[in-house]
Amino acid sequence: MTLEGRGKRVRIYLNEGDKVGHQTADMAVLTFLRRENAAGATVFRAIEGFGGHGEIHTARLVDVAPALPMVIEWVDSEERVERLLPGLKELVPRGLITVDPTEIVLYEPYPVRRVSSHLTAANVMSHDVTAVGPQVPVRQVVELLLGRVYRAVPVIDARVPVGIISNSDLVTRGGLAVRMELLPSLEGPELHDVLERLARQQKTAGEIMTPHPVTVLATTPLPEVAQIMARRHLKRLPVVGPGGGLVGIVSRLDLLRTVAEGFSRNQPEPDQVGLNGDAPIGKVMRRDVPTVFPETSVPEVMQAVFSTRLNRAVVVDAERHVLGLVTDAELLERVTPSLKPSALQSLMHRLPLLPRRQEDRGVEQHALAHTARELMVGAIPTAEESTPLRQALRSMLEGKEKLIAVVDGQRKLVGVVDRADILRGLAAPG
């Protein structure tokens, strides 16, 4: 991640006795920022101070139980601060939040460390889990998932997971026309039609779920969680407590971020058992890469994109140099009639006072595309076969794509890896 240049510094002023649910407020803030892949944050504990109530707190009053001021300082890119600030404001129970422009002259994060076996599912899982009962209508399940990070819903009975509904379940058994991550790309009328069609089918969560979901205890070590995911080809696992009740969910991305950022609360020793981030990327790459040329027609592009589970096709030239990527998102824009610009829209965009936004131009181009060149999005991350998994993972997490193109010494495509491939390599014995 490159942060040099203009950034923002956020300061959150709290008292050490403040709570968010069962967590201390400072830990809740740190957990939120870490989960959202913030660059980093530091907590400072004051020795004296007073806030809006006017009462002075000091560490020198030994007869009084301290409730000293605390300051959390977070420095990050302007874009990330703007994105996360609304959620942060909802999280902080009381106090003060300030934001200042700052100049970042150096950002050199610590190298990636192996994940210690002392870390467990509870250390990285998300507590904010959307779960439903077996009788909940499928339409309601889809509406709950719209705009959320996770694309799966545990189905619970008396808090115990009895099933899980994934993207695949919604499409194959639930009657959903497109995968969940593509729904936000639809215009209002198209999205309404999709939801109405689901409502008419009158299916329930219990009817479409995958029963008997694989779960892990909150105390399960992370290397074991990674092995379960890799061997069973799972993207996420419900996390349960001692009584079997749902307490969280851990995703493949949670694990990969932990590897990339070296998160550790217990500061493990370097030789502790962990995930194998030093393995070369060539060991886990797939060579059956769906590829198309810039002039490949849209129907052929569509066949290539859906030929594998990747739902993507790499655009290459005659020498197999990587030019770009076409995903199912661009194809959805191509087949959605409402995204095609009207004559009035085209006329309005020609006026000098009403310039088109960059995203509007991209959507319009995709909606009118006839070839892969007009559909493809920008350059994707590349790596050579000898690149360590940890380095490749960092490149993947810093960008928007879920795919890395593997190239040879002449920069020609030889394979690809996605998150599932990287997790399989990380979980493999060293």
Q: pLDDT tens digits, residue range 419-429?
A: 777 777 766 65
pLDDT of 64 > 50? The answer is: no
State whether 234 and 297 are in the same domain. Answer: no
- In this structure, are 20 and 151 located in the same domain? no
- Looking at the fold, whether 127 and 247 belong to one and the same domain comes out as yes
Same-domain status, 136 and 165: yes
319 and 201 in a common domain:
no
- Of 261, 296, 314, which residue sits at a domain end? 261
**Domain-embedded: residue 142:** yes
In a domain, 74, yes or no: yes
Is there a single domain that holds both residue 88 and residue 194? no
Query: Residue 149 maps to which CATH number?
Result: 3.10.580.10
Residues 157 and 227 in one domain: yes
Residues 222 and 252 occupy one common structural domain: yes
pTM (two decimals): 0.50
Is 393 inside any structural domain? Answer: yes
Domain boundary (261, 295, 312) is at: 261
Average pLDDT over residues 302-325: 86
Give the least confident one: 88-102, 280-294, 342-356: 342-356
- Asked if 20 and 76 sit in the same domain, the reply is yes
Q: Of 3-7, 160-164, 274-278, 295-299, which one has max mean pLDDT?
A: 160-164
316 backbone dihedrals φ, ψ, rounded to 5°: -130, 160
Question: For position 224, what pLDDT does the model report?
Answer: 84
Residue 110 within a domain: no
CB 221 within 8 A of CB 99: no
- 54 pLDDT band, cuts 50/70/90, is low
**Same-domain pairing of 87 and 136:** no
53, 70, 104 - which closes a domain:
104
Whole-number Å distance between alpha carbons of 5 and 102:
8
pLDDT for the residue numbered 221: 87
Domain containing 137 equals 121-261
Domain contains 332:
no
The number of domains in the chain is 3
- Which pair of tokens denotes residue 212? 């008997």
Q: Around 37, how many Cα atoms within 13 Å sit in the side-chain half-sphere?
A: 19
Instruction: Supply the pLDDT for residue 254.
Output: 77
Cα dist from 179 to 130, 172, 359, whole Å: 18, 10, 21
Mean pLDDT of 358-386: 75
